[in-house]
């Protein structure tokens, strides 16, 4: 891996962490637009460094739609509630969509090594997906309506499937390999 790719991976990872925190804390404190601005800045940097912007944008938009659908279904099913909620009661808020897009940038840079590794992606999704929601719950960005363990287990299944699917989608749409 060349130095430029390494730098891009580090910048992406740091941007992912800062963007996630800005979205979760901003929403919890009543300022969801802060996270949206941070993610927008991250996207500008990400797209400037992207080799094939068109394929990358298609991937990011698909993940935004799929992620919004997943979190909207969790909301509609009563599994989660959100701080700084969307204006529509059935839709996940924009800051959640921004988090999905932020995560999608990682699947083509700092987490690119997961592309095509379906079982590893599923296993990591089953562990780290719920941990992200637990952290969001601890920051008061989201709430668990069915109790801690039920929600964590449900999130584990949801994120195992989501990560496996997104790793395959990233490889199919964006990867040059």
DSSP string, 128-152: HHHHHHHHHHHTTSEEESS-HHHHH
The pTM of the full predicted model, rounded to 2 decimals, is 0.94
pLDDT at 117: 93
Tens-digit pLDDT profile for the chain (177 aa)? 588 888 899 999 999 999 999 999 999 999 999 999 999 999 999 999 998 999 999 999 999 999 999 999 999 999 999 988 777 878 999 999 999 999 999 999 999 999 989 999 999 999 999 999 999 999 999 999 999 999 999 999 999 999 999 999 999 998 765
Residue 131, C-beta contacts closer than 8 angstroms, at least 6 positions apart: none
pLDDT at 176: 66
């Amino acid at each position: 891996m060349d130095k430029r790719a390494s730098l891009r991976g580090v910048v992406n990872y740091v941007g992912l962490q800062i963007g996630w925190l800005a979205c979760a804390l901003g929403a919890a404190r009543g300022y969801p637009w802060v996270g949206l601005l941070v993610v927008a800045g991250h996207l500008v940097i990400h797209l400037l460094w992207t080799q094939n912007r068109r394929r990358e944008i298609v991937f990011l938009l698909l993940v935004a739609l799929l992620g919004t659908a997943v979190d909207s279904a969790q909301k509609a099913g009563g599994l989660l509630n959100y701080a700084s909620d969307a204006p529509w009661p059935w839709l996940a808020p924009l800051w959640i969509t921004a988090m999905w897009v932020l995560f999608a940038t990682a699947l083509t840079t700092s987490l690119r090594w997961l592309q095509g590794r379906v079982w590893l992606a599923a296993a990591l999704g089953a562990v780290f997906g719920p941990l992200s929601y637990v952290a969001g719950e601890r920051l008061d960005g989201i709430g668990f309506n069915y109790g801690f363990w039920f929600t964590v287990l449900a999130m584990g299944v949801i994120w195992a499937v989501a990560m496996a699917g997104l790793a395959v989608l990233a490889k199919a749409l964006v990867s040059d390999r």
